[in-house]
Structure 1
Amino acid sequence: MDSEHHDIMTISQVAKYFQISEMTTYKLVQDGKIPAFKIGSHWRIQKSDLTDLIQKLKNGERI
């Protein structure tokens, strides 16, 4: 569990974190359901945004 504790995560790390496929994660990012930003051609996700998203999901919001 070394590289999974960074503040900035890749699509692959987010997929593992949520235990969903990378394809699903990529689609959610592209649709704006998971807040993300691009560095060059690579998507990155801030871990604190995932915490906010999890809270919204727990409160019954759908993505």
Structure 2
Amino acid sequence: MTDEILTIREVAIFLKVTERTIYRLAAEGQIPSFKVGGSWRFQRTDLLQWMRDQSPEQFDRRPDGGNGE
């Protein structure tokens, strides 16, 4: 399921950081997230796009580096 909703713990494991880091990023609006009943939730597809946006060259799989040459 690509639109899977994740908890802070699941995102921390996914990104290999502490739960505290994820909470801080969410509270500061630095990572795509939303609240449900006071608890942070994250959509997996939003996180994947956020990761691509953070470092586009790292996620570009084209051999030409994405510049079309």
Normalising by the smaller structure, the TM-score range is 0.7 to 0.9
Aligned length: 56
1:29 aligns with 2:26: yes
Map 1:30-49 → 2, pairs under 5 A: 30-49=27-46
TM-score (norm 2): 0.74
For 2:28 and 2:10, locate their aligned partners in 1 and report how far apart those are by CA, in whole Å: 18
After TM superposition, where is structure 1 displaced by more than 2 Å over at least 4 residues in a row?
A: none
TM-score normalised according to structure 1 size: 0.80
How has the CA–CA distance of structure 1 residues 12 and 6 changed in structure 2, closer, same or farther, with 3 Å as cutoff?
farther
Residue of 10, 13, 17 corresponding to 1:13: 10
- Calculate percent identity across the aligned residue pairs: 36
Q: Which structure is higher in helix share? A: 1
Amino acid paired to 2:40: W
Gaps of 5+ in 2: 58-69
The CA RMSD measured in Å over matched residues stands at 1.7
Q: Which structure 1 residue ranges, 5 or more long, are not aligned?
A: none
